[in-house]
């Protein structure tokens, strides 16, 4: 290779690296310039994202956004929340109007490819369920034979419903409604024998939208896989890694028994995994362009995965959901963190 060609190749490589580095840092730099993480959430789903009496956003999905802010900006309160229906939220993320979408939305191939998005990981394993009146006597899906079932249009509910029931030769009447309130009204007025949606959404509906929640129950059977998880735009690998490892840090903390209450004592631990997580062994932050205390801030200001789950949607919450598949792999669930090393 001639000196000219070597010089040209070196210049081209340098330009490529500069361009790549610029693309990598784009979202992080924007977040730091704004001084907030712009987070899209659902439009008021109890336990996941909902304003409290003081107007503050609370919930499982909200906690994740606050965790990212704690890691990147040092303060879990530095989040700007916006709520929208599923399709509008996906579009807003795709257009760059928000930095992360953290809401009860099923990760599917069509959604990821249509909007050019990238899943951070699954932080909640759900499935499509059914809500019925207790006095209806309905306890199994087979008992819905020939009965009308309400669902919300624009979700995955209708396709799942038809696929599952058709495969089992269970005839039913699908009653599609355009929005959530219309669907609930139809159920209360007796237009359908059951409402079908993600089980987490139905648990929220039961305690927030129905009079006398104790008169309604969720059937134990589910008919689909509904993996929920935060989403970011494709093309910014740096921001994706920050988002991914934020979730991993919350899960890893629970695995290691590091919580808000135990963090102080755990700083004396000689366990390598604990010391890396808490930044006592340096180096974990540099790979993400953050300081070594980023994960410790998440735990102090937000809590580990288990704390967030229990306080917002688990047994310590009004929803009282079991951990189920969302239990740690150590306890028979599907949840585990990529190794932080």
Question: Candidates 3.30.750.200, 3.40.50.2000, 3.10.20.30, 3.40.190.10; correct CATH number of 128-224?
Answer: 3.40.190.10
Contacts by residues 221-225 (CB-CB < 8 Å, ≥ 24 positions apart): 221/129, 221/130, 221/140, 221/141, 222/127, 222/128, 222/129, 223/127, 223/128, 223/129, 223/141, 223/160, 223/161, 223/164, 224/127, 224/128, 224/156, 224/160, 224/164, 225/125, 225/127
Task: List CB contacts of 277: < 8 A, sequence separation 6 or more.
Answer: 249, 252, 253, 256, 258, 284, 295, 296, 340
35 is written with which tokens?
């001084």
User: Would you state the pLDDT for residue 25?
Assistant: 54
User: Would you state the pLDDT for residue 160?
Assistant: 92
Residue 102: closest CA among 79, 130, 128: 79
- Burial-class residue 55 by CB neighbours within 10 Å (0-12, 13-18, 19+): exposed
The residues that bridge with 81 in the sheet, in sequence order, are 39
User: Would you state the pLDDT for residue 57?
Assistant: 97
Task: List CB contacts of 163: < 8 A, sequence separation 6 or more.
Answer: none
Region label for 107, one of left (φ > 0), alpha (ψ between -120 and 50) or beta (otherwise): beta
Task: List CB contacts of 96: < 8 A, sequence separation 6 or more.
Answer: 233
Boundaries of CATH 3.40.190.10 in the chain?
A: 23-125+228-331, 128-224
What span, in angstroms and rounded, lies between the C-alpha atoms of 49 and 66?
Answer: 12
Q: Which residues of 254-266 are buried (b: 16+ CB within 10 A; e: fewer)?
A: bbbebbeeebeeb
Per-residue confidence of the chain (341 residues) as pLDDT tens digits?
Answer: 444 444 434 444 344 333 334 444 599 999 999 999 999 999 888 999 999 999 999 999 999 999 999 999 999 999 999 999 889 999 999 999 999 999 998 999 999 999 999 999 999 999 999 999 999 999 999 999 999 999 998 788 889 999 999 999 899 999 999 888 899 999 999 999 999 999 999 999 999 889 999 999 999 999 999 999 999 999 999 999 999 999 999 999 999 999 999 999 999 999 999 999 999 999 999 999 999 999 999 999 999 999 999 999 999 999 999 999 999 999 999 999 999 99
Contacts by residues 316-319 (CB-CB < 8 Å, ≥ 24 positions apart): 317/47, 318/46, 318/47, 318/207, 319/46, 319/47, 319/200, 319/203, 319/204, 319/207
Q: What fold does the segment set 23-125+228-331 form as a domain?
A: D-Maltodextrin-Binding Protein; domain 2 (3.40.190)
CB atoms within 10 A of CB 87: 14
305 is written with which tokens?
């995965």
């Amino acid at each position: 290779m001639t000196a000219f060609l070597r010089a040209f190749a070196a210049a081209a490589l340098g330009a490529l690296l500069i361009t790549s580095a610029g693309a990598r840092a784009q979202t992080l730099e924007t977040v730091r310039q704004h001084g907030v993480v712009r987070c899209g959430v659902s439009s008021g789903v109890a336990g996941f994202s909902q304003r409290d009496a003081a107007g503050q956003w609370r919930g499982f999905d909200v906690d994740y956004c606050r965790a990212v802010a704690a890691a990147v900006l040092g303060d879990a309160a530095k989040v700007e929340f916006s709520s929208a229906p599923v399709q509008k939220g996906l579009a807003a993320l795709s257009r760059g109007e928000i930095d992360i979408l953290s809401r009860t939305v099923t990760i599917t191939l069509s959604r990821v490819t249509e909007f050019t998005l990238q899943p951070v990981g699954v932080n909640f394993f759900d499935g499509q369920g059914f809500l019925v009146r207790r006095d209806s006597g309905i306890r199994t899906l087979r008992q819905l034979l020939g009965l009308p079932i309400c669902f919300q249009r624009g979700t995955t509910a209708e396709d799942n419903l038809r696929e599952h029931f058709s495969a089992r030769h269970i005839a039913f009447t699908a009653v599609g409604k355009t929005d959530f309130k219309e669907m609930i009204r139809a159920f209360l007025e007796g237009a359908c024998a059951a409402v079908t949606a993600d089980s987490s959404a139905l648990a929220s509906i039961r305690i927030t939208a129905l009079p006398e929640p104790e008169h309604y129950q969720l059937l134990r059977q589910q008919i689909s896989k509904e993996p929920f998880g935060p989403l970011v735009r494709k093309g910014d690998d740096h921001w994706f890694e920050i988002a991914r490892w934020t979730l991993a840090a919350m899960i890893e903390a629970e695995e290691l028994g590091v919580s808000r209450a135990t963090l102080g004592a755990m700083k004396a631990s000689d366990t390598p995994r604990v010391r890396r997580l808490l930044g006592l062994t340096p180096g974990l932050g540099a790979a993400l362009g953050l300081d070594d205390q980023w994960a410790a801030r998440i735990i102090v200001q937000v809590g580990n995965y288990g704390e967030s789950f229990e306080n917002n949607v688990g047994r310590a919450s009004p929803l009282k959901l079991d951990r189920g598949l969302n239990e740690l792999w150590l306890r028979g669930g599907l949840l585990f963190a990529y190794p932080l090393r």
